[in-house]
């Protein structure tokens, strides 16, 4: 078997140009070390570290395979092809050795991926919880997140605090449709399914603020269903818990006091709880429930963590929820002017 050998300058130029282009595109990949709110390449828990390690392994395998394939491709096109007008010197139809090779080599790669995969699955599922594990109940709603701490009774929305270096069990259910709880740095994602309790068990290893978002399409405002996870030191976490358990502020005079009256009179109190002031069973609200507002003023974001918690944004939101978050279940109450300002002042005072 003789190999016809030929190099054509024009083709070399074309293919090296294309290869350079490909490399430059790959080179545009996010440089290591950068950290963005939702990036999946900055693991901050043992769990996501394991995910990341397998990701790196498979990426390396993928790149090697791609290089081999592209190399054969380029060689076949540039070098080992017969000149037009010449007869093909060999009409190679089959080769037992080669064909065995490309059955066996992918098989080895598959095993190389399967072993750490299976190992990780076995070691991360099913979960083992110790008495020290902190359970956080995640309740998904269209389109916001409710967090409950059964051990302390804290209820909050869109912002969850967890202590560092302690095992956390996120126990997740949905009130309506299927959502997905995605916090890339800490726990990857897990669907939140109505009628089925799913779990993410993790131990965060670095204090800080992390972002998350719903990743299963859940209706009009699927894009507007974000949340934040605060990994606190144990002291910060205890302080935060204590604050959350404290009674809400009761403004007695000024704009905020007027706002408190509006809150109680307007339909707000039907869906929203402010401990000691309102809090009806969801059966009176056709199944809808709004976030617990007892310590609303202490949160950094509103409306599914899509806006900063500023009086202007809050006014915008209450004035016309549907404009901020299409399809929102919160009704437009027609509040404006003085009443709106008073309500905003009251809510912002609920530190």
Question: Residues 40 to 69: which contact other proteins by CB under 8 A?
Answer: 40-41, 48, 50-52, 54-55, 58-59, 61-62, 65-66, 69
Specify the residue, 117 or 336, whose C-beta has the smaller distance to other proteins.
Answer: 117
Both tokens assigned to 118: 């299976």
Determine phi and psi for 140, rounding to 5 degrees: -90, 135
CA 293 to chain centre: 24
Q: Which of 17, 106, 282, 334 binds other proteins (CB under 8 A)?
A: 106
Determine phi and psi for 33, rounding to 5 degrees: 100, -25
Q: Which of 134, 171, 178, 333 binds other proteins (CB under 8 A)?
A: 178
Other C-beta atoms closer than 10 Å to the C-beta of 209 total 12
The nearest distance, CB 69 to other proteins, in angstroms, is: 5
The nearest distance, CB 31 to other proteins, in angstroms, is: 11
Stretch that binds other proteins, among 111-119, 144-152, 161-169, 335-343 (CB under 8 A): 111-119
> Under the criterion CB under 8 A, does residue 259 sit at the interface with other proteins?
no
Q: Which residues of 179-194 are buried (b: 16+ CB within 10 A; e: fewer)?
A: bbbbbbbbbbbbbbbe
Stretch 294-323 residues interacting with other proteins (CB under 8 A): 306
The nearest distance, CB 119 to other proteins, in angstroms, is: 9
> Under the criterion CB under 8 A, does residue 247 sit at the interface with other proteins?
no
> Under the criterion CB under 8 A, does residue 284 sit at the interface with other proteins?
no
User: Facing residues of 232 across strands?
Assistant: 163
Cβ 143 vs Cβ 222: under 8 Å: yes
> Under the criterion CB under 8 A, does residue 184 sit at the interface with other proteins?
yes
Cβ 182 vs Cβ 213: under 8 Å: yes
Total interface residues for other proteins by CB under 8 A: 101
Instruction: Sort 60 into a burial class: Cβ within 10 Å, 0-12 / 13-18 / 19+.
Output: exposed
Stretch that binds other proteins, among 109-117, 150-158, 241-249, 310-318 (CB under 8 A): 109-117
d(CA 112, CA 147): 39
Q: Which of 16, 117, 246, 336 binds other proteins (CB under 8 A)?
A: 117
Q: Which of 80, 282, 332, 336 binds other proteins (CB under 8 A)?
A: 80
Cβ 4 vs Cβ 82: under 8 Å: yes
Specify the residue, 154 or 168, whose C-beta has the smaller distance to other proteins.
Answer: 168
Measured distance between the N- and C-terminal CA atoms of the chain, rounded to whole angstroms: 83
Determine phi and psi for 146, rounding to 5 degrees: -110, 135
> Under the criterion CB under 8 A, does residue 177 sit at the interface with other proteins?
yes
x-marked contacts with other proteins along 190-229 as a string, rule CB under 8 A = xx-xxxx-xx-------------xxxxxxxxxxxx-x---
The nearest distance, CB 131 to other proteins, in angstroms, is: 23
């Amino acid at each position: 078997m003789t190999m016809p050998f030929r190099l054509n300058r024009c083709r070399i130029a074309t293919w090296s140009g294309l290869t350079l282009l490909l490399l430059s595109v790959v080179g545009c990949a996010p440089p290591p070390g950068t950290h963005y709110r939702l990036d999946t390449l900055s693991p901050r828990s043992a769990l996501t570290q394991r995910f990341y390690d397998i990701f790196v392994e498979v990426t390396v395998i993928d790149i090697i395979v791609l290089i081999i394939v592209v190399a054969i491709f380029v060689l076949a096109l540039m070098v080992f092809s017969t000149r037009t007008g010449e007869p093909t010197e060999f009409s190679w139809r089959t080769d037992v050795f080669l064909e065995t090779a490309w059955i066996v080599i992918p098989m080895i790669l598959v095993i190389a991926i399967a072993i750490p995969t299976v190992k990780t699955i076995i070691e991360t599922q099913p979960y083992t919880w110790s008495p020290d594990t902190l359970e956080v109940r995640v309740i998904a709603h269209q389109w916001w997140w409710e967090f409950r701490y059964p051990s302390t009774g804290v209820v909050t929305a869109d912002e969850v605090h967890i202590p560092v270096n302690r095992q956390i069990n996120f126990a997740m259910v949905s009130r309506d449709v299927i959502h997905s709880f995605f916090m890339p740095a800490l726990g990857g994602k897990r669907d939140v399914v109505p009628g089925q309790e799913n779990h993410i068990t993790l131990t965060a290893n670095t204090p800080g603020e992390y972002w998350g978002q719903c990743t299963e399409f859940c209706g009009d405002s699927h894009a507007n269903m974000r949340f934040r996870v605060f990994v606190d030191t144990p002291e910060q976490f205890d302080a935060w818990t204590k604050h959350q358990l404290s009674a809400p502020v009761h403004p007695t005079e000024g704009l905020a006091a007027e706002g408190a009256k509006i809150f109680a009179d307007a339909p707000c109190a039907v869906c929203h709880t402010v401990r000691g002031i309102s809090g009806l069973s969801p059966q009176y609200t056709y199944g809808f429930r709004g976030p617990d507002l007892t310590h609303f003023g202490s949160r950094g974001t509103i409306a599914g963590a899509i806006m900063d918690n500023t009086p202007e944004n809050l006014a915008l939101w209450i004035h016309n929820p549907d404009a901020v978050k299409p399809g929102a279940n919160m009704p437009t109450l027609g509040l404006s002017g003085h009443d709106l300002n008073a309500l905003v002042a009251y809510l912002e005072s609920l530190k």
